[in-house]
Amino acid sequence: MKETSRAFTAKIAGRETVMEGADMRAVVLTLDAGQCIPWHYHSTITDAFVCLTGPMVVETRAPRNAYTLNPGERCAVPPMTAHHVHGSNDGPCSFLILQGAGEYDNVLVGGDPER
């Protein structure tokens, strides 16, 4: 997947690329207790989340929402929508994230990439 600017790379327990093509990729991300993917957005791609272990929470702004996902459940965040991902009650979780189709960027929202 072609990448433009990448504002940050979250410090997390695990990252495994399952598939990557010209404008799409699939990655399994693992968060330990207390870890998160900080608030960010993508200009052109959609993030589609599938919970593997959890529960996990995907929060969005504009519209403001919180999706609590249990294993096997999914949700999608469209381009230009700020979102933040963490385990429920700051617990551990893992999820498959499908990203595409388009050019990847990762724009941090706010100042602290740890939260």
Span 69-81, pLDDT tens digits: 999 999 999 999 9
Threshold 0.85, pTM exceeds: yes
More confident residue, 52 or 2: 52
pLDDT at 5: 56
Spatial contact of 52 and 28, defined as CB atoms under 8 Å apart: yes
For 1, what's the count of Cα atoms within 13 Å in the CB-facing half-sphere?
24
Spatial contact of 67 and 81, defined as CB atoms under 8 Å apart: no
**pLDDT above 70 covers what percent of the chain?**
89
| pLDDT tier, 97 (very low <50, low <70, confident <90, very high otherwise) | very high
Angstrom distance (rounded) from CA 2 to CA 62? 27
pLDDT at 104: 86
Collapsing DSSP to helix, strand or coil, 19 comes out as strand
More confident residue, 8 or 109: 109
Domains recognised in the chain with CATH numbers: 3-108 (2.60.120.10)
Spatial contact of 4 and 103, defined as CB atoms under 8 Å apart: yes
Collapsing DSSP to helix, strand or coil, 94 comes out as strand
Collapsing DSSP to helix, strand or coil, 90 comes out as helix
Rounded to the nearest 10°, the torsion over CA 29, 43, 1, 39 is -20
DSSP 89: G
